[in-house]
């Protein structure tokens, strides 16, 4: 086990103890496989939390850089302190703020986007990242099947009030990605459902 493995274990324990949502064990293989197949140089992440998926990505791709956006300043600070312990901090920029507000201020092209922030904003995030994508970009969105309530068996009932906006917005996200010209999308059921949208394949 290298030091990064030990740090990732520590982060998993931290996440469990503090009930911080990080990429689940079930969803990790889809995330890592898509990264390895795509070999992106510039990654954009919406929803840093404590930096777990960002560190996984930087470890998997030693040439890659990541810009990751987190609305919660305390989470962003925790992510920065974990990143400092990896030696990857020169390849990572943690921005604090709402992704929907920061996206229009970003420049440069990204060849991999990981959407993992407020689920009720996924359609806005999809539209907001479009000007930032390279011609062969991949957009990965986590939790798109949210507890089986978004589509498929068990999703027929009108979602209960507390989940309604989220579920309807996730359905809109899936409609958008499936109908987007120049993209092919596959929904992986692992974890809470992960949508992978490849551009121009
Ligand atoms: C599921 S967690 C991210 C987990 C992280 N990607 C990982 O796998 O290690 C979602 C994060 O998105 C943040 N968030 C929620 N809405 C946001 C928004 N509109 N803009 C930026 N961050 C947001 C939350 O504070 C939370 O830390």
What is the pLDDT at residue 80? 98
Upper half-sphere CA count for residue 200 (Cβ side, 13 Å): 6
> Structural domain of residue 163, as residue ranges?
3-199
Cα separation, 103 vs 80, whole angstroms: 20
Which of 128 and 150 is assigned the larger pLDDT?
128
Q: State the distance from the centre of ligand 1 to the C-alpha of 20, rounded, in angstroms.
A: 10
pTM of the model: 0.96
Q: State the distance from the centre of ligand 1 to the C-alpha of 74, rounded, in angstroms.
A: 12
The string over 127-163, giving b where at least 16 C-beta atoms fall within 10 Å of a residue's C-beta and e elsewhere, is ebbeebbbeebbbbbbbbbbeebbbeeeeeeebeeeb
For residue 70, what is the domain's CATH number? 3.40.50.150
Confidence of residue 201 (pLDDT cuts 50, 70, 90): low
Total domain count, the chain: 1
Which residues line the pocket of ligand 1, CB cutoff 6 A? 21-23, 46-47, 49, 52-53, 69-72, 75, 98-100, 116-118, 121
Find the Cα–Cα–Cα–Cα dihedral 143, 103, 69, 25, rounded to 10°: 20
CA-proximal residue: ligand 1, atom 18 (nearest) = 98
pLDDT for 160 beyond 60: yes
Per-residue pLDDT reduced to its tens digit, 23-82: 999 999 999 999 999 999 999 999 999 999 999 999 999 999 999 999 999 999 999 999
Atom of ligand 1 nearest to the CA of 118: 16
- Mean pLDDT calculated for residue range 5-16: 97
Per-residue pLDDT reduced to its tens digit, 82-97: 999 999 999 999 999 9
DSSP string, 23-70: --TTTHHHHHHHHHHH--SEEEEE--TTSHHHHHHHHH-TT-EEEEEE
């Amino acid at each position: 086990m290298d030091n990064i493995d030990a740090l990732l274990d520590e982060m998993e324990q931290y996440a469990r103890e503090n009930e911080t949502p990080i990429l689940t064990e079930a969803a990790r293989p889809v995330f890592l496989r898509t990264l390895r197949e795509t070999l992106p140089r510039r990654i954009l992440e919406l929803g840093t939390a404590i930096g777990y998926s960002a560190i996984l990505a930087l470890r998997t791709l030693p040439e890659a850089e990541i810009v990751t956006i987190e609305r919660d300043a305390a989470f962003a600070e925790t992510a920065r302190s974990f990143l400092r312990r990896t030696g990857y901090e020169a390849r990572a920029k943690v921005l604090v703020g709402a992704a929907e507000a920061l996206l229009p201020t970003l420049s440069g092209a990204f060849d991999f986007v990981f959407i993992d922030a407020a689920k009720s904003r996924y359609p806005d995030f999809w539209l907001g990242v479009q000007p930032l994508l390279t011609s062969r970009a991949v957009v990965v969105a986590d939790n798109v099947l949210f507890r089986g309530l978004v589509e498929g068996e068990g999703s027929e009932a009108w979602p209960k009030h507390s989940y309604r906006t989220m579920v309807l917005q996730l359905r809109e996200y899936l409609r958008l990605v499936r109908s987007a010209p120049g993209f092919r999308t596959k929904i992986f059921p692992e974890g809470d459902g992960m949508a992978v949208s490849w551009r121009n394949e």
